[in-house]
Amino acid sequence: MMLIGNLGKDPDVQYLEGNIAVAKFPLATTETYKDRTGKLISQTEWHTVVLWRGLADLAQKYLHKGSLIYVEGRLRTRSWEDKEGNKKFATEIVGDNLIMLDKRGDGHGGGYSPQGGGSQDNPEGFSGPDIPPLGDEPTEGLPF
């Protein structure tokens, strides 16, 4: 899964046994297109994102409600029974890579991947490519 969206609230970070950080937050993605009459239609989907260890620490330190991010990860569906014995399901995106798309003072986004690629020159310990701002207009000609 690759998603670009805005956080619906500040990350909820908890620490498990062994001081393992896990962050969870809702992410809104919006698709905008024109209908047959030319009217712009926007559809927003909400996703639950879960980040572990270093990514969770990064989220706690730098992300907040409204932050624009790019996240790569995999889908995970969990099931359980509630107190009344009803079967419940939750589908989450477990993030493996994260790039912050918000503008910082120097105009650069920041990214982090637990596999490496972070910059030691950057005092925050991560870096990202220059990312052009995303416009509000729908992009025509995309196959998706």
Burial class (CB in 10 A: 0-12, 13-18, 19+), 8: middle
Q: Tell me the pLDDT of the chain (144 aa) as tens digits.
A: 999 999 999 999 999 999 999 999 999 999 999 999 999 999 999 999 999 999 999 999 999 999 999 999 999 999 999 999 999 999 999 999 999 998 865 444 555 555 444 333 333 333 333 333 334 434 444 443
Cβ neighbours of residue 136 under 8 Å, at least 6 residues apart?
32
Strands 20-34, 12-16: parallel, antiparallel or unpaired by DSSP? antiparallel
> What is the pTM for the complete model shown?
0.69
Average pLDDT over the chain, rounded to an integer? 80
